Structures are given as structure tokens and as C-alpha cells.
Amino acid sequence: MTIVIGFEGSANKIGIGIIRDGEVLSNPRRTYITPPGQGFLPSDTARHHRAVILTVLKEALEQAGLKPADIDCVAFTKGPGMGSPLVTVALVARTVAQLWGKPLLGVNHCIAHIEMGRLITQADNPTVLYVSGGNTQVIAYSERRYRIFGETIDIAVGNCLDRFARVIKISNDPSPGYNIEQMAKKGSQYVELPYTVKGMDVSFSGITSYIEEAAHKMISSGQCSAEDLCFSLQETVFSMLVEITERAMAHCGSGEVLIVGGVGCNLRLQEMMGVMCKERNAKLFATDERFCIDNGAMIAQAGWEMFRSGQVTELEDSWITQRYRTDEVEVTWRD
Amino acid sequence: MALEKSMAAIPEFLSKAELLKQGAEARVYRARFLGRPTIVKERFRKQYRHPLLDEKLTHRRTVQEVRSVLRCRRAGISVPVVYFVDYSSHSIFLEEIVGSSTVRDHIASSPPSARCEGLEPLAERVGQVLARMHDEDVIHGDLTTSNMLLRCGPEDGVSELFLIDFGLSYISALPEDKGVDLYVLEKAFLSTHPHTEALFQRLLKSYAAASKKSSAVIKKLEEVRLRGRKRSMVG
């Protein structure tokens, strides 16, 4: 029996989760939400995490009904992500690991999303679409690496959606993407927007600058409503994502798709991916907001895999890094 | 009445043809057209896309594909001949390159076929062909080893290298676009064929030697490579 606690805080969510041999014992989380029209800055986010992290840690242990002595390993997000929030969380992880006398494990955030997705959905060897505010990658496992087949060559799809939300001042509660999704359901007019797929890669900066510039003009001139723009933006960017996923599947001969990351909560994206999968006789796997959105249990799960395959992070190696490629990690727990 | 009849003609023709594969973009059939072995590429409607977006994209890609293939052909690059295009069904009728296999299968199979050249001369050949294509300002847009066909010669292994699948192609003189084109190939190459970094370097060397405008392109390729790494990843 192996019990791992995982600490996550690379963006505006701070989560701590405990996993015991594939069972999620607890997974509390807090989100730093800014007023409409504003994004979240590193120092404010770090301040938010600092204020709540010990409360969340207590919750995680209480909800799991465990004491520190029961924990076998302390996992934390090594990267990628925002600098100061990452440091804040790593600091606490290092401290409790030393206090409790437990080994440390620095985990790659992207790989954590994948491992959690695999655990929850039991997908065998899927093509993974990892989409969030900070990342957009199409990943497939091959020879001990999670190889990146396609990705954004500029900004993440979630970043594009978040920035559009700021332009039209949609609330960030519970998340800008969620509110865009609700508004999109009420939109009906399709407005043509730039569509950029380059082979297996996508580009969102063009559509972002286009819509940032044109949104107010289009809405005030009565050409379309904000709901229509939300609808059109989703249809366009999600089509791009489904397209590159399908390309990767065709290239690898894969019959499974797993969507992970915060944008993966979006039901329209899941619906579109489902249609594509059905046409190809492929299976779609997705999780709900508990595990799509950044959370501590996913760090614990990746940590559990790494720990069981014999990995440990020494204190002097427990630094965090803002840039940490998914394919940098040797996946020692799979063959 | 006549219009409906003619619009039904292509789907009817295809229903009798042999379906080779269903790619991400299109269905590919084998048939005989005007007495010749023909590949028909039919871009079908993608149900997940909004109909207006789907129509715009599909039409644009059909047009771009045909234009790029013709441009390459005029420049002496080996590509299939375009026999016929039907814009209502978005179908392109192309010459079938009989007796060929993809470069991807070629690299993946080991030992490599004795009749064809080894992997290193192959990589050099690919570099040369891409150089000629880029010098023509054609950006393929979807360079992978599945989009290159090798037809081996009869005895002494002299083979012909074809480029196919120009669905994402466009015309551009910018070194940035050519650099990204090579970057797409590099990523697809290294993900599909692990541990072939040296082979790909050979390809790039051959490209640089063969293209008159290569130094700016290689520089852009290096920049684009770093971009993925330098980008701050959050969430």
C-alpha cells in the first residue's frame, strides 16, 4: 500500500490531494478569482496561495482521515507554471517532507494531467489532447516518453479564451472559460474568424488579436451579439483542436482520445471530439471538473507512479522551473 | 434535373471505387479514370465543424492543394498529375503512383528493402526535393514521412521520390514559413521515428546545400525550435 500526497499551485488554483493505490482519498482546492476584465498576476496569485495553503493541507488530511505518519511520499509540482506560485507551494512541500521525514518527488504538471486522466478513465494508450490556460499539446506515449506530436506555436487555447473574456468583461467566477461556454450556448450566428492549423500545430495569436480588436465594433454595430462571438470563437478554436488531434491519431494509428486540462471540461469540445471519434470508430475519454482543472490529486497520482518505479527527488534537486517540457521526463513507470 | 444528375455522378462513381483509407482530411479511393490508375481524394464534410466553417475550409483546402501540386509540377518536382477536380464534392482526381510505399514505412521497416537506396541517401534526397519546393515558394504545410512516396526503380535501385497531400499548402516567400514547414517535418519525423536525429540532420544539410535561399530558412528553423521551449507554460 502506497499513499502519496500531492501539492499543486502552478497557476491560480491551489490544490492538495491524497491518493492511495489509485483511490482518491481527498482533493480539496481553492481558486484565485480576479474581477472581470483582469487576469491573474504571479505575485497576487502567490499571495493567495500562501494565505490558504495550510488550510487546504489540513482539509486534505482530515477528509482522507489520515495523519502525516500515514503518508509515504510528498509530491509537488516542479513545473511548468508561474514562478512565485510554484515557489510558494514547493516551499510548503519541502517543509512538510522534512518535518514528517518523508521522501520528496518533483512532478511535471503536464504529465500529472495525463496520469490522472489515465487513472480515472482507464484509457489504455490514447492520443492525449492537453488543453488549458497555459498549455495546448497533442501527446502520444512512445518508448518511455510522452512525445509532443502537435502544439500551439504561440499561446494556449485557454489563454485565447481567457483574454477574450477580459475584452468583453465576462466574470472570472468560477472561470472565464466556463462563462464563455454558457454564453456560447445562447449564440447562434456563426461569425467567420481566422483559422490557423499548420500541420500538427495550431496558432491562436492571430484569432486572439483579431477578436480582441473586432469584438467591440461587431457588438456595438449590431452585427452580432457577445453570445454569437462566444459561440463562433468556440466553434473555431475547438475545430482546430479536433483537427490536430485527428491528424495525430491518423499518424499513430490510434483508436483512443483522452482530453485533459481545464479546457477539457468544456462540454462542446467533448461533444465535437466525440463526433470525430464516432466517425473513426475511436473511443473518447474525458474527466469532469474535479480532475480536468488543476488539482492536487493528479500530482499525487503522477508522484505515486514515479515513486513506485523508484524515483525520489533530493532536496537540492527540488527547485521549481517555469519551463518544463512534457517530453523531458523519462517515463520509467511504463514500458 | 441535369444539375442533380451531375452532382450525383461523383458519389456514384466513388461508391464503386475501392476505398484505400480514411485520413484525417479525406477519403482516398483507388479507381480507373480515363483509362488510367487514379487516386481520388474526396474531402468529406466534417460533422463536428459548423457547416459554414466546414464549407469555407474544405473549399479553400481543395483549391490550395491543386494550385500547389500544379506549381510543383511546373518546377519539375515529382508530384502526382491532377486529372480532374470537382468542387461540389471537393474531390481531386490524381495520378496513382503505382508501386510506391511511404517514406514512413520505408524508414520503419528493417532491414530496409534491398532494392531501394539506404536511409542516408534517402534523407539527402528528401532534403534536395524540399529545397526545390521551397525555392518555388511552395509551403507544403503538412510535411510528414507519410506524405512522401518512394517508388523504387527496376534493377539498380534508382528510385523516385514523390511529394503528396498538399491540403494545407500555400504560397509564401517568407523564410519564417519555410522554417516552420521544416519544423513541422522535424517534429513529425522525430516523434514517428525515434532515435533518428542524425538522419534528420543529414536531411537538413542536404537541404541547405541544395537551396539558394537556405541560410535564412535554417536560421528561422532554429528560432522556431526555441520558441516552443522558451514559451512560458502556465496551468
The domain B12-95 is classified under which CATH number: 1.20.120.10, 3.30.200.20, 3.40.50.20, 1.10.275.10?
Answer: 3.30.200.20
Fold for domain B100-231?
Transferase(Phosphotransferase); domain 1 (1.10.510)
B180 chain-A contacts, CB cut-off 8 A = 153, 198, 201
With a CB cutoff of 8 Å and minimum separation 6, the contacts of A248 are A127, A138, A140, A149, A150, A200, A254
Q: Measured between CB atoms, which of B50, B56, B144 is closest to A251? A: B144
Q: What is the pLDDT of residues A245-267, one digit of tens each?
A: 998 998 888 999 999 999 999 99
Cis peptide before A80 (omega within 30 of 0): yes
Give the CATH class of A3-114+293-317.
Answer: alpha beta
Checking if the pLDDT of B232 tops 50, the result is no
The structural domains of chain B, with segments of one domain joined by +, span 12-95, 100-231
The CA distance from B208 to B185, in Å, is 15
Cα first-last separation, chain B? 57
For A81, which of B24, B227, B233 is closest by C-beta distance?
B233
Q: Which residue of A196, A201, A330 to mutate against B (max B Cβ within 10 Å)?
A: A201
Q: Would you tell me how many other CB atoms lie within 10 Å of the CB of residue B32?
A: 10
Q: DSSP string covering A36-85, please?
A: TT----HHHHHHHHHHHHHHHHHHHHHHHT--GGG--EEEEEEESS-HHH
What number of C-beta contacts closer than 8 Å exist between A and B? 123
Smallest Cα–Cα separation from A30: which of A52, A5, A59, A58?
A: A52
Task: Provide the pairing of β-strand A127-131 with A256-260.
Answer: parallel
Provide the annotated binding site of A for a divalent metal cation.
109, 113, 130, 294
pLDDT at B4: 65
Catalytic residue among B54, B86, B105, B142: B142
Where in the sequence of chain A do the CATH 3.30.420.40 domains occur? Answer: 3-114+293-317, 125-286
Question: Would you say A170 and A180 are in contact if contact means Cβ atoms under 8 Å apart?
Answer: yes
Mean pLDDT confidence for B98-102: 90
What letter does residue A34 receive in the DSSP assignment?
Answer: P
**Binding-site residues from annotation of A for substrate:** 130-134, 162, 177, 181, 266
Reported residue count of chain A is 335
Under 8 Å between Cβ of A177 and A189: no
Contacts of B42 (CB under 8 A, 6+ apart): B10, B14, B26, B27, B28, B29, B89, B90, B91
Where residue B26 falls among pLDDT bands split at 50, 70, 90?
confident
Chosen from B25, B43, B48, B60 to mutate, greatest number of chain A CBs within 10 A? B48
Among candidates A82, A140, A247 on the partner chain, residue whose Cβ is nearest the Cβ of B24: A247
* Residue among A314, A260, A11 nearest A138 (CA): A260
**Which pLDDT score, from 0 to 100, does residue A43 have?**
97
As a whole number of angstroms, the distance between CA A93 and CA A74 comes to 7
Helix (H), strand (E) at residue A257: strand A256-260
Render pLDDT for A164-214 as a digit per residue (tens, 0 to 9). Answer: 999 999 999 999 999 999 999 999 999 999 999 987 889 999 999 999 999
A279–B47 C-beta distance less than 8 A? yes
CB A257 within 8 A of CB A283: yes
Of the candidates A142, A200, A275, the beta carbon closest to that of B184 is on A200
CA distance B230 to A321: 12
Closest residue in A to B145 (Cα) is: A251
Q: How far are the Cα atoms of A43, B141, B160, B178, B214 from residue B204, in angstroms, in the given order?
A: 44, 17, 19, 12, 10
Q: By CA distance, what is A269's nearest residue in B?
A: B48
* Angle value at C-alpha A40, between A288 and A8, nearest 5 degrees: 50
Report chain B residues whose CB lies below 8 A from the CB of A147: 191, 194
The b/e string for B71-88 (b: 16+ C-beta within 10 A; e otherwise) is bbeeeebbbbebeebbee
Nearest-neighbour CA in chain A from B4: distance (Å) = 27
Residues 124-143 of B with CB under 8 A from A: 141-143
CA dist., res. B107 & res. B36, Å (int):
30
Instruction: Give A207's contacts (C-beta < 8 A, 6+ positions apart).
Output: A160, A193, A194, A195, A196, A233, A236, A237
Fold for A125-286, please state it. Answer: Nucleotidyltransferase; domain 5 (3.30.420)
- The helix, strand and coil proportions of chain A, stated in percent and rounded to the nearest 5, come to 50, 20, 30
Report percent pLDDT > 90 for chain B: 58
B142 in active site: yes
Using pLDDT thresholds of 50, 70 and 90, give the confidence band for residue B117: low
Residue of A nearest to B195 (CA): A143
Residues A276-321 pLDDT 10s: 999 889 999 999 999 999 999 999 999 999 999 999 999 999 999 9
Q: Which of B56, B230, B234 sits opposite A81 (nearest CB)?
A: B234
Q: Does B221 touch chain A (CB under 8 A)?
A: no
Q: Highest-confidence range of A201-205, B3-7, B9-13, by mean pLDDT?
A: A201-205
Rounded mean pLDDT of chain A?
A: 96
- Residue with grid cell 528528401, as numbered in its chain: B126
Interchain CB distance below 8 Å, A135 and B235: yes
ipTM: 0.89
Query: Is there a contact between B23 and A80 if contact means CB atoms under 8 Å apart?
Result: no
- A210-228 in b/e burial notation, b at 16+ Cβ within 10 A? ebeeebeebbeeeebbbbb
Q: Compute φ and ψ for A50, nearest 5 degrees.
A: -55, -40
Query: In chain B, which residues have their Cβ closer than 8 Å to the Cβ of A192?
Result: 52-53, 56
For residues A261 and A274, give the distance between their C-alpha atoms in angstroms, rounded to a whole number: 17
